[in-house]
């Protein structure tokens, strides 16, 4: 299956799992209709008249389950009548014949701005409800980030995400690449723009100058997913590879067949992007080499490192995508 298709399915799965977790936590929170442990405002009680009620469920902003939202009018001890809508299931249509005792917390600056719950306070259940609410908010934020990230990559493709939101780290900007030890240029021509569903690996083989005499007699060897690739000399090589994680093993081989400087690492080849890797052979032949995964290059040849997930522009794009998705769903309802 296409990489972007898999990412789209991952986005849907992230949203579904996240919303299930949020809905479950909110449902647990709303099982307790008593007074919360601590609420700001003036505490009042009064006589309740239950008006029209609407039933929501099985999935709503109140979580999983069926809940009643009812219009009420509360007559306070000072004679004022305050109208409000309460839910979920603080009152039900069955309470019209036997109005329950409700307690309200009213704003000190706007006395008619009140919220009402059932009378009675259970500290443990109240704290449990607040804890479930905080967990649901945390799950919602994680769902928005993970699902939005996957959806944005599915819509734009990894190459555009890297190109539009990538940024060069200070370390990458300050550290110059090592000089080519061989005057020979790459035996492969630079690749053009890569179509979606394809990737490219550009790997440069080089050795430290003190060991030049040894490495002039040796040649590099590259194996990708247990398959040897054709490496001609100590220079830059390009190989078209399918996107995804690739197990790479790089070493140096002497004419008599001795292998040294072996290093093994998993490198992810990006979709539509040329992935850049450097192999540095060891100065000490008893040591392993070093494999560095550098900046991926887009089709314009501009390097960027994969720290776009911490980029403010990327986070803003993910937030905007989630807001747009919520707006679209509200229209389709």
pLDDT at position 23 is 83
220 pLDDT above the threshold of 90: yes
Containing H/E element for 105?
strand 102-106
pLDDT at position 84 is 85
Q: Are strands 290-293 and 296-297 parallel, antiparallel or unpaired?
A: unpaired
In the block, tokens 């992810």 appear at 268
pLDDT band at 333 (very low <50, low <70, confident <90, very high): low
The rounded percent of the chain whose pLDDT value lies above 90 is: 9
C-alpha 21/C-alpha 140 separation (Å) is 9
184 pLDDT above the threshold of 80: no
C-alpha 265/C-alpha 38 separation (Å) is 54
Neighbours of 59 (CB within 10 A): 14
Q: What is the DSSP string of 260-299?
A: EEEEEEEEEEPTTSEEEEEEE--SSTTSB-EEEE--EE-T
C-alpha 303/C-alpha 272 separation (Å) is 14
Domains of the chain: 3-23+129-163+312-332 (no CATH), 39-121 (2.40.50), 169-305 (2.60.40.10)
pLDDT at position 187 is 46
Six-digit token pair at 181?
A: 């030890």
- Whose CA is closest to 235, among 263, 199, 202? 202
Using an 8 Å Cβ cutoff, are 144 and 318 in contact?
A: yes
Overall average pLDDT of the 29-42 stretch:
70
pLDDT per residue as tens digits for the range 202-217:
899 988 888 888 888 9
């Amino acid at each position: 299956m296409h990489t972007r298709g898999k990412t789209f399915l991952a986005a849907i799965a992230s949203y579904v799992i996240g919303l299930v977790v949020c809905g479950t936590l909110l449902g647990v929170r709303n099982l307790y209709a008593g007074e919360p442990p601590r609420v700001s405002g003036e505490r009042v009680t009064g006589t309740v008249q239950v008006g029209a009620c609407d039933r929501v469920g099985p999935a709503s902003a109140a979580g999983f389950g069926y809940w009643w939202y009812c219009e009420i009018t509360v007559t306070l001890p000072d004679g004022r009548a305050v109208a409000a809508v309460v839910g979920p299931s603080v009152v039900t249509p069955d309470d019209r014949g036997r109005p329950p005792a409700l307690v309200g917390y009213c704003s000190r600056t706007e006395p008619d701005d009140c919220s009402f719950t059932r009378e009675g306070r259970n500290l443990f259940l109240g704290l449990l409800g607040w804890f479930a609410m905080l967990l649901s908010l945390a799950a919602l934020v994680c769902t928005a980030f993970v699902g939005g990230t996957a959806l944005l990559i599915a819509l734009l493709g990894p190459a555009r995400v890297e190109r539009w939101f990538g940024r060069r780290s200070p370390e990458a900007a300050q550290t110059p690449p090592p000089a080519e030890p061989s005057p020979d240029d790459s035996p492969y021509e630079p690749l053009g723009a890569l179509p979606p569903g394809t990737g490219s690996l550009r790997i440069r083989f080089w050795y430290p100058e003190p060991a030049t005499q040894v490495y002039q007699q040796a040649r590099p060897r590259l194996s990708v997913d247990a398959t040897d690739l054709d490496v001609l000399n100590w220079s830059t090589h390009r190989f078209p590879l399918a996107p995804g994680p690739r197990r790479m093993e790089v070493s140096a081989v002497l004419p008599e067949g001795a292998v040294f400087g072996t290093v093994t690492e998993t490198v992810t080849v990006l979709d539509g992007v040329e992935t850049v890797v450097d192999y540095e052979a060891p100065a000490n032949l008893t040591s392993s080499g070093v494999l560095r995964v550098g900046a991926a290059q887009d089709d314009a040849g501009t390097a960027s490192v994969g720290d776009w997930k911490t980029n403010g522009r990327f986070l803003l794009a993910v937030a905007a995508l989630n807001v747009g998705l919520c707006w679209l769903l509200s229209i389709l309802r």
